[in-house]
Amino acid sequence: MDFVDARRKSQFPRKILLAAGFITLFIFVFKKSPSFGGGSGKFSQHEPGVTHVLVTGGAGYIGSHATLRLLKDSYRVTIVDNLSRGNLGAVKVLQELFPEPGRLQFIYADLGDAAAVDKIFSGNAFDAVMHFAAVAYVGESTAEPLRYYHNITSNTLLLVKAMAAHGVKTLIYSSTCATYGEPEKMPITEDTPQVPINPYGKAKKMAEDIILDFSKTSDMAVMILRYFNVIGSDPDGWLGEAPRPELREQGRISGACFDAARGIIPGLKVRGTDYKTSDGTCIRDYIDVTDLIDAHVKALAHATPGKVGIYNVGTGKGSSVKEFVEACKKATGVDIKVEYLARRPGDYAEVFSDPSKVNRELGWSAKYNLQDSLSIAWKWQKAHRNGYSN
């Protein structure tokens, strides 16, 4: 695997603490890289029969699973990640699984750095981009809206501009059901009005608008996947969800359930019991990460120049938070303590998808149910109490 640091020197002081925290793993990757700094040459040239995919945010939870699937399917992959939310440990796992030169490259860079992004595109022959990189916590977005508009909307603009400038003509965009806000009726279809109610959803919709407006003036192949609540882990046990400790409070309910089951936290906090749902808690459509990535790969295969595809990716079935907690108790075998609190700002009562369009046009459907996903994820969590530090 090749490792490249695309940061400008002027950015180093701001990143020094982050870099220090990962120095041991960096050294490991340096030693294992066949041609650190210069690249093997394979990444910088198009090769017949080989599709080179840039995966932004590829060190993160969803992006790392996407990278694993792409590598298994014989794609060439370049990960770009600033490691603000991702795990270099996940990259290390991928590198160990696919050590052959020309398969996987990791570039440490921030998509908000226009010069670094241009340098990346100038030095690599990308055929397609899967854009996952984004901050993605609803509660955090209400507290830090400007951060979300910068990280999601502005960075997507820079990425699309770089794609246009360097002739990269296929984009698979990781969007969200949060762009719909709180629709009047369920299930959500692709024609449901987009009226986001929190900065996260608003920033994602703005990014979608940038992509869609540009697509009208180009022959870019665009696929936008609006997905629902992601859970689960790689069924082979290579990858899982490992948020930074300081982000646990903001993270997914599955992570909180597992932390409670392992005794890392005293119990689970459920926010909101007075919603207009059957048991008063929020209803969500929980989609397994393996199923989600399968939708991305199918979207890439179906991407057509000059065409735009927009798809909801979910199971089509909503589960309440209370139902989720009971499923988590069953998966872990632990009677998790639950504390019920007031609503979290920016949350909505009920969201679940109508996946009929993605079923029909891409031949995709969810294979894992809620219980299966949690059981698989629990196996990884038990084996990785400290995430990728184990």
User: Could you give the residue numbers annotated as active site?
Assistant: 200
Peptide bond into 187 cis (omega under 30): yes
| Phi, psi of 98, deg, nearest 5 | -135, 70
In angstroms, rounded to a whole number, what is the distance separating the alpha carbons of residues 257 and 303? Answer: 37
In angstroms, rounded to a whole number, what is the distance separating the alpha carbons of residues 171 and 127? Answer: 9
Cβ contact 101:34 at 8 Å: yes
Range 158-194 burial, b when 16+ CB lie within 10 A, else e: bbbbbbeebebbbbbbbbbbbbbbebeeebbebebeb
Residue given tokens 């196996």 in the structure block = 379
For the chain, report the end-to-end CA distance as a whole number of angstroms. 22
In angstroms, rounded to a whole number, what is the distance separating the alpha carbons of residues 204 and 226? Answer: 10
In angstroms, rounded to a whole number, what is the distance separating the alpha carbons of residues 328 and 374? Answer: 6
In angstroms, rounded to a whole number, what is the distance separating the alpha carbons of residues 158 and 154? Answer: 6
Residues 308, 309, 310, 313, Cα dihedral to 10°: -150
According to DSSP, the residues that pair with 130 across neighbouring strands are 55, 172
Output the six-digit token pair for 165: 């400038």
Please provide the size of the chain in residues: 390
Output the six-digit token pair for 315: 């199971």
Enumerate residues 6+ apart whose C-beta is below 8 A from 377: 231, 232, 233, 240, 241, 254, 258, 331
Q: Count Cα neighbours of 78 within 13 Å in the Cβ-side half-sphere.
A: 29
In angstroms, rounded to a whole number, what is the distance separating the alpha carbons of residues 351 and 176? Answer: 11
